[in-house]
Structure 1
Amino acid sequence: MREISLDRLRTLIAIAERGSFTEAARALNLAPPTVSLHIAELEDRVGAPLLSRKRGNVKPSAIGELLIERARRLLADAEQALDDIQRQVQGLEGRVRLGASTGAIAHLLPQALEVLRQSHPAIEIQVAVLTSHETLSRLADGTLDVGLVALPQPPVAGLVIKPWRRDPVMAFVPAHWQCPARVTPEWLADQPLILNDATTRLSRLTAEWFANKGLHPVPRIQLNYNDAIKSLVAAGYGASLLPHEATASLPDPRVVMRPLRPALWRRLGIAHRAEYVERPTQHVLDVLSDQRLP
């Protein structure tokens, strides 16, 4: 079944509004035979006359009136669709899908989202809680646009992964414990521990920190939610190793933070596809880059 061309519908509307094939041809910048051909094709497709021609005056038939009514709506919808797409191409509005860990979402994204809301209020940000591996996989298959991932990461074909920021990993210790000014692997390995689960980059990072001193402590519990870990530390259940973002609020007074010796850093990167970056996505990348820390 042949589809009806919007150009043919536009021609039909122009004739109905002007009552003349000649005037319609002039308004549409078409040759008169082309206008006649458009109507002939429409009538052949519909199977009925769309216009009546009497004494030089052209008027729609009953069927023509119905088609013209529907055609006006179709053309308006098409124009609106093109306008919406153009606004997205220009970066005035659109949707950006972003993946990040719970820690990044809780402590690093809010400021960026506030800047985006003020500067680009029509851009919708859809945030998914994902591990770095899941984020890179979804970027590669096209179901995400931007990702915040732990570094280092092996190269991924078709993706760009750039360093974004680094934050110190600190010891979070119950305030009533007696702990040194700088926490060492040897001291911490003798304490009950609450650590990130093995699926996270932070887990591997902290395991290496202990292993460099020949230590392999077994935690009391492993979680993948830093705020829950902090709550358990505040309850005195154990100590933990967590990144501390400069924008994060001060910990619960029942918790003390201590720097590590040797120092440890959690590094994050921004990932996106290497192909053409749409304007809304570029706005998000620009805002995140402005918040990069050394």
Structure 2
Amino acid sequence: MREISLDRLRTLVAIADRGSFADAARALHLAPPTVSLHIAELEARIGAPLLSRKRGQVRPSAIGEVLVERARRLLADAERALDDIQRQVQGLEGRVRLGASTGAIAHLLPQALEGLRQHHPAIDIQVAVLTSHETLSRLADGTLDVGLVALPQPPVAGLVIKPWRRDPVMAFLPAHWECPARVTPEWLAAQPLILNDATTRLSRLTTEWFATAGYHPAPRIQLNYNDAIKSLVAAGYGASLLPLEETAPSPDKRIVMRPLRPALWRRLGIAHRAGYVERSTQHVLDMLRDLRLA
């Protein structure tokens, strides 16, 4: 069964509004035979006359009136759909799906979201809490648009991964401890530890930092939520290694921070699909890149 073209419906509405094939042809910038063909095709599809001529004026038949009413709604819906899509193409509105770790979401992402809200309030950001591996997988299969991932990452076909920022990893220690000015693997390995769980890039970084010095300490607890780790450090449960993010609030007074020796850095990147980037996605990328590299 052939579907009805919107062009044919537009022709029918134009004739109903103007009462004339010739006037409808002029309004639609069509040749009169084309207008006649459109109506003939519609009537063949419907199986009944849609127009009648009385006293030199063309009017819809009873069936035609019903179709004209429905056609007006369909054409209006189509126009609204095209307007909505055009606004997305222009970057005036849209939906951007972003994946990031809890740490980035808690302290880094809010700055970008605030700037985006001020400059592009109609762009809807959908945030998913994911590991870097999950983020890259979902970018590759098209279910995410932007990802904040730990670096380094191996190249992924079809994805662009660029450095975003570099944050120093610090020792977070209970304030009542007697702590050295710079924390070494040897000293920290002898303390009770609260570390990120093994699924995170930070866990691998800290494990390598200890292992390079010949230490393999077992933490008291492993978590994947930095704010929860800080709460346990403040309670005196143990020490931790966490990135120092300039945008994060000052730590609890029950926590002191010490630099590491040797130094350790947590590096993050921005990932997105290669090729055409929708305007709304580009606004998000620009806002993220505007955050100063540490």
Distance apart, 1:49 and its partner CA: 1.0
Aligned equivalent of 2:264: 264
> Matches of residues 75-224 of structure 1 in structure 2 within 5 Å?
75-224=75-224
- In 2, the alpha carbon distance for the partners of 1:22 and 1:78 equals 25
Deviations 1:178-199, CA, capped at 9 Å, x for gaps? 1111111000000010100000
TM-score, length basis structure 2: 0.99
Aligned equivalent of 1:15: 15
Structure 1 unmatched ranges of 5 or more = none
Distance apart, 1:54 and its partner CA: 2.1
- In 1, the alpha carbon distance for the partners of 2:154 and 2:292 equals 21
Deviations 1:153-206, CA, capped at 9 Å, x for gaps? 000000000000000101011111111111110000000101000000000000
Distance apart, 1:55 and its partner CA: 2.7
Query: What is the alpha-carbon root mean square deviation over aligned residues?
Result: 0.7
Aligned equivalent of 2:6: 6
Distance apart, 1:44 and its partner CA: 1.0
> Matches of residues 29-68 of structure 1 in structure 2 within 5 Å?
29-68=29-68
- In 1, the alpha carbon distance for the partners of 2:198 and 2:238 equals 18
- In 2, the alpha carbon distance for the partners of 1:73 and 1:17 equals 15
Q: Secondary structure at the match of 2:58?
A: strand
- In 2, the alpha carbon distance for the partners of 1:286 and 1:121 equals 15
**Letter paired with 1:216:** H
Number of matched pairs: 294
- In 1, the alpha carbon distance for the partners of 2:278 and 2:178 equals 53
Structure 2 unmatched ranges of 5 or more = none
TM-score, length basis structure 1: 0.99
- In 1, the alpha carbon distance for the partners of 2:293 and 2:15 equals 63
- In 1, the alpha carbon distance for the partners of 2:20 and 2:168 equals 77
Aligned equivalent of 2:243: 243
**Letter paired with 1:180:** P
Distance apart, 1:292 and its partner CA: 3.4
**Letter paired with 2:129:** V
**Letter paired with 2:177:** W
Aligned equivalent of 1:273: 273
Distance apart, 1:23 and its partner CA: 1.1
Q: Secondary structure at the match of 2:74?
A: helix
Identity, % of aligned positions: 88
